[in-house]
Structure 1
Amino acid sequence: MKNLERNKSLDLIKWIALLSMIIDHAWYVLPAELQEPFRWMRIVGRLAFPLFCLAIAANVRRQPVGHPGGLNYLGGIFFFALISQQPYSRFFEGNHLNILFTLGLGLVITQAIHHLKPTLIAAGITALAIAVVYRPILSFGLCGALLPAALLLAIQARSEAAVAATWPLAALLAVLANTGSGLLLWTDLPVTAQTGIAAAALAPILGLVLLQIRLRLIWPVGTWMYPIYPSHLLLLGLLPLACQ
């Protein structure tokens, strides 16, 4: 396939997603007495996952329909998902699978919807089944795995009715991926938690606006972004030890 011209708007989205993720994770290593005053870092972090999903959706949409799919793209995500799992588990001290597994499953589902090839449809159904089975330990859960596909449909929407249906769906999935059933407790949540939910809901709309921006110069976000994920978890995990 002929290489597509680089979309600088997508690079901007990836930069914002990457920086907001690091800001979010940096909150966890703050001293306990600073965590509440710096709660805004967690709110900023609610932008990260929806914007990563939007980047996946926009990249898939740029692939000509019928193309067998980005195997290198998918392979890179799952390769670094495996590498990142140990640093992720140590940093968050849990048994959840890291975000790259969710993004990888979401990519497979999104490609199946976009290309509608039998092999990719079968792969998409398999990815969906895996997301359903592993949703209790999958970062951002089943809604997270479905969000890139919902954003693809939103980007492709042409009629006003389609836009009115797809973008609210994407916003809802973004909120559910970030909060789960916590959304039902909206009125009982503190203002900072409500603000975080609002940030997650607005992230897809922000991404749509960013896609319309035409930039001349921006540092491309390439495959170097993959090792950044486990590396920043390792470095942040070492900070408390270095400060002792």
Structure 2
Amino acid sequence: MHGTETMPVGRVRDGALDLLKWLALLSMVLDHLRYVGLSLDGLYVPGRLAFPWFCLAIAANLHRVKNTAVTGQWRYLGWLLLFSVISEVPYRLFIEDADTLNVLPTLALGLLVARGWQQKAVVDRGLALIALALAAVFSTHLMFGFFGVLLPLAMMLVFRRPWYFSLLPGLVCVAANQWQVLLSSGSLVAMLGLATCLIAPLAGLVLLRRGKSVSPPAMRRWAYALYPAHFLLLLLIRQITT
């Protein structure tokens, strides 16, 4: 894995990126299976891959569209914001004691921060500063908090660098995952969860750089609907099994 390797650009499908998104979705579903009423606490560990891999997908998409029309990038943000609203009710129905918003607002703010770093336009820098301010003020209301908003930027900063730079987003990922609580727990699941957070960025980068030959189904805009839909499906499973 060398720092000179780059991602495909333009409209060419990147099979490795699609695979990363599918695996992130699978990890998220596995994580949420812990809430269907069964004893599946161990799924917390693979579940730690989901958020950093979605953040890495944001970084990869920003690299792919860096020199394309900005309308596509605003559309990307618009879909995130739209499904942030759509997903909140299914999320609250399934996670009954939720004390944060669903994950999409965190990803939307993270997208703004990462794009503000990438682009020199005043509007992009201004929106990034606003996103940072919102993340700081409302950190306790955001899933993965302030550090979760920083994770897409951390991923983008190491995107084309040697593998050992992945330690930076790994540490940011640990900080976003309530590391104090996990350390205090001291359980095997908690320790494995911390380790997974630390190595998730590296694992995702390896997949993107070495998985060029894979051709999974393309994950297009319809995939946004899978986020609220999976909450409703798991809610139905819980009602059937309990």
* TM value normalised by structure 1: 0.88
Aligned-pair CA distance for 1:67: 5.1
Aligned-pair CA distance for 1:7: 1.2
Q: Does 1:130 align with 2:134?
A: yes
Task: From the superposition, tell whether residues 127 and 191 of structure 1 become closer, same or farther in structure 2 (CA, over 3 Å).
Answer: same
Aligned-pair CA distance for 1:216: 4.4
Task: From the superposition, tell whether residues 191 and 243 of structure 1 become closer, same or farther in structure 2 (CA, over 3 Å).
Answer: closer
Task: From the superposition, tell whether residues 66 and 243 of structure 1 become closer, same or farther in structure 2 (CA, over 3 Å).
Answer: closer
Distance 2:203 2:60 in 1: 14
Q: 2:82 aligns with which of 76, 79, 104?
A: 79
**Correspondence for 1:237:** 235
Aligned-pair CA distance for 1:129: 0.6
Within a 5 Å distance, the mapping from 1:25-104 to structure 2 comes to 25-31=32-38, 35=39, 38-65=40-67, 68=70, 70-93=73-96, 94-104=98-108
Distance 1:65 1:120 in 2: 14
The superposition leaves residues 99-141 of structure 1 with CA deviations (integer Å, 9 ceiling, x where unpaired) of 0000000001111111121110001000111111110010000
Q: Does 1:202 align with 2:199?
A: yes
Within a 5 Å distance, the mapping from 1:163-202 to structure 2 comes to 164=164, 166-182=165-181, 185=184, 189-202=186-199
Aligned-pair CA distance for 1:199: 0.8
Distance 2:200 2:167 in 1: 11
Letter in 1 for 2:77: L
Unaligned runs of 5+ in 1: none
Letter in 2 for 1:90: L
Which one has more relative contact order, counting CA pairs under 8 Å at least 6 apart? 2
Identity of matched residues, %: 38
Question: Paired residues, what number?
Answer: 231
Letter in 2 for 1:19: L
Is contact 1:144–1:174 with CA below 8 Å preserved after alignment?
yes
* Runs of 4+ that moved beyond 4 A: none
Distance 1:189 1:65 in 2: 46
Within a 5 Å distance, the mapping from 1:137-152 to structure 2 comes to 137-152=141-156
Partner of 1:30: helix, strand, or coil?
Answer: coil
Is contact 1:89–1:96 with CA below 8 Å preserved after alignment?
no
Distance 2:235 2:151 in 1: 29
Is contact 2:62–2:115 with CA below 8 Å preserved after alignment?
yes
Aligned-pair CA distance for 1:82: 0.4
* TM value normalised by structure 2: 0.89
